[in-house]
Amino acid sequence: MRDTTLAGAVTGRETIVKQAGLVLGGSLFIALAAQVIVPFYPVPMTLQTLAVLIVGLSFGARLGALTLCAYLAEGAMGLPVFAGGMAAPALIGPTAGFLFGFVLMAWAAGLAADRGLARGPVSTALAAVAASALLYLPGVAWPMALAELAGISGKWVGSSSDAIWTHWIAPFLLGDAVKALVAAMVLWGGWKAVRARSRG
């Protein structure tokens, strides 16, 4: 059966050990990318979303989502894996909606890969853009309403739609588009390398 994900094409037959290695390596990759920060308030811009896209597109929906669950668990256990070396407190801070939304983002990107829709640069870029757009649903729902329902306090809690657009959405749209293109080029390059190796 033809491999639909880049990770499957590279690693061959899936085993528990290989899957565990991919999950651990993927979560470490995302943690390192999270430390590359362009400061914005209240949500910093990092290379985290680029790493999430690459993991999802490379691993597929199930393994991509599992990798992000492991990443969140690492932060919850106190490991400094989130942006700026943050750990568990970030899971109730202004970025919490985006952090939990990474699971959905990786799953959506991975679903496109599983269905063979993320092989060429254009189709992969479109899948990455769609997955990035989904991230905003939990990302903005958290500061607008969910944090308040959860009993979280802070000046960002209960933010207006204007504040949401100004601080949580608008500054990141161009970066998201660029990251989607970069992720597409990385995946496309990976598939080209795999095809070249199989011909050799």
Asked whether the predicted pLDDT for residue 1 surpasses 80, the reply is: no
Q: What pLDDT does 41 receive?
A: 64
Q: Domain range spanning residue 178? A: 6-195
Mean pLDDT value of segment 66-92: 96
Q: What pLDDT does 50 receive?
A: 96
Whether 1 is in a domain gets the answer no
DSSP state of 91: G
Rounded-to-integer distance, Cα 171 and Cα 114, Å:
31
Q: Is 56 exposed, middle or buried (0-12, 13-18, 19+ CB in 10 A)?
A: buried
Tally of domains in the chain = 1
Task: Give the CATH number of the domain where residue 39 resides.
Answer: 1.10.1760.20
Whether 146 is in a domain gets the answer yes
Mean pLDDT value of segment 110-137: 93
